[in-house]
Structure 1
Amino acid sequence: MTAQLTHVKAPQGVAPGTGYSHVVWGTGRFVAISGQCAFDEDGRIVGEGDPAAQARQVFENIRRCLASAGATFADVVKLTYFVTDVAQLPAVRAARDEVFAGEHLPASSAVQVAALFRPELLVEIEAFALVGEEN
């Protein structure tokens, strides 16, 4: 069962964002997904030097992590993006748009960092979700 979530794209007095909700709330079982990077199931980096390929792999890893908790992208309430260059954000957003659709977008933050824990990595994303009580 998917949690009942409420998304507020733009609270009164706050300019609407593009591709995210400013506020998301609901009830259910809380699920925290550690920051995911572009590793395949054998621990090899996918898409070295390619932010689009890395972002797609990161979202695939998040999908698998969510599934292990009985959740889907529809249950995600918050994403935090860590990128080594904000110029990579369009590629990350394109990958996000492949898995999130419609008006029910999670709250989001994006942070440019000096580096991730391996120099080949360009993006890391963590996720928080609420899953319906019956899962």
Structure 2
Amino acid sequence: MTDTDGASPEDLGAKILAGEEFDPHGDLAKTMGVEYLEASAERVVGRMPVKGNTQPYGLLHGGASCVLAESLGSVGSALHAGPGRIAVGIEINATHHRSATEGYVTGVATRAHGGRTLATYDIVITDDQDRRVCTARLTCMLRDAPPGRPGGR
């Protein structure tokens, strides 16, 4: 991760989307095909293919929806936390409203609370027909980044 001292959250979000800052995917999100479309401390948008992320009946796996939700909310939380700080997920819940069997699902994470030590995001996941597939909520603890780690000095 490059040094982000003095960078605004908007600049940091643009760097993340361009791949110039830390890689927001992590191994799991990369494996699942998560793509980030928009990133700011207030709102993060991303999508993920249904294909490759299904359970045995060919339906989008509920855990895959949680991975998308946590990925989006974690990026928003990291942007909210700012330079030299990290966001660590401490609680997620999800309600699965309907199945998806093809195409992409798109998630929109909107900040519900942004404090000094906690950030909470509401995440709505929809299918290609704009039907709600899942509603999730993620809370992240915000901490100073350990030296030598992404976000640290």
Normalising to structure 1: TM-score of the pair? 0.32
Question: RCO greater where, 1 or 2, for CA within 8 Å and sep 6 or more?
Answer: 1
More strand by share: 2
Normalising to structure 2: TM-score of the pair? 0.29
